[in-house]
A and B are shown apart, each in its own frame.
Chain A
Amino acid sequence: AQKITQTQPGMFVQEKEAVTLDCTYDTSDPSYGLFWYKQPSSGEMIFLIYQGSYDQQNATEGRYSLNFQKARKSANLVISASQLGDSAMYFCAMREGQFGSGTYKYIFGTGTRLKVLA
């Protein structure tokens, strides 16, 4: 079974609109972390936002927010007021397991390619 699932291989959004990129995860570990990364066409992996499994509030970083629904095991990324520079591949990732226990893993989804239209 996939640990991280990103069901949207590609998305389009109009400039200045908001867009939601979906991510669902699967873990039985009570302590885990969820991350989103951006990979523009230049290739680098840029960290965007983090959500801990025990965090009570949804994480926000500027125009990025993470819609964390623990019971549904979803961690969708919301980008508000899209800009042309947001066109990129977006990866959802999960860290599960306690470091040192042998179960520590850091798993990436397959990504969603976002294209922002002028």
Chain B
Amino acid sequence: DAGVIQSPRHEVTEMGQEVTLRCKPISGHNSLFWYRQTMMRGLELLIYFNNNVPIDDSGMPEDRFSAKMPNASFSTLKIQPSEPRDSAVYFCASTFLGARGRTDTQYFGPGTRLTVL
């Protein structure tokens, strides 16, 4: 079975440019999470979706960040305009939430390493 797929794996862009990160969750999972990992702040939850609906976006740093999940197999995280402090590894993870007896273990994608110059 394919795991969580993220693209691109690496992105280098200049300050002010728009950046779009993409994620395909594991088939059958109903929840998707976006995380950001930096040395200074560790792993931070940005937003998560359940059944394509955003449930908690309290971790989104500011209005420059937006996330969508138009269907069960695709999500995007967009940064516009990007800034050097957005440089980080962005992970997408998926799981199945809401079923008794399931552990809701999150499975992570390989991450996108974003560098904003």
Contacts and interface: CB of A to CB of B under 8 A. Distances in A.
Interface of A: 33, 35, 37, 43-47, 50, 52, 91, 95, 99-100, 104, 106, 108, 110-111
B43 A91 contact: yes
B97 A50 contact: no
A109 to B, nearest CB: 8
Interface of B: 33, 42-43, 45, 50, 55-56, 89, 91, 93, 97-98, 103-108, 110-111, 113
A111 B110 contact: no
A111 B107 CA distance: 17
B42 A108 contact: yes
A106 B106 contact: yes
Main SS class of interface, A: strand
Contacts of B42: 108, 110-111
B105 A35 contact: yes
A52 B56 CA distance: 23
A49 B103 CA distance: 11
A44 B108 contact: yes
Contact of B98 (A35, A99, A108): A99
Given A33-B104, A50-B103, A99 B43 contact: no
Contacts of A95: 104
A111 B55 CA distance: 27
Nearest to A107: B45
Contacts of B91: 45
B78 to A, nearest CB: 22
Nearest to B50: A99
A104 B98 CA distance: 11
A67 B111 CA distance: 30
A47 B108 CA distance: 8
A74 B4 CA distance: 30
Contacts of A108: 42-43
B62 to A, nearest CB: 21
Contacts of B55: 104
Given A100-B98, A106-B33, A47 B105 contact: yes
B103 A33 contact: yes
B107 A47 contact: yes
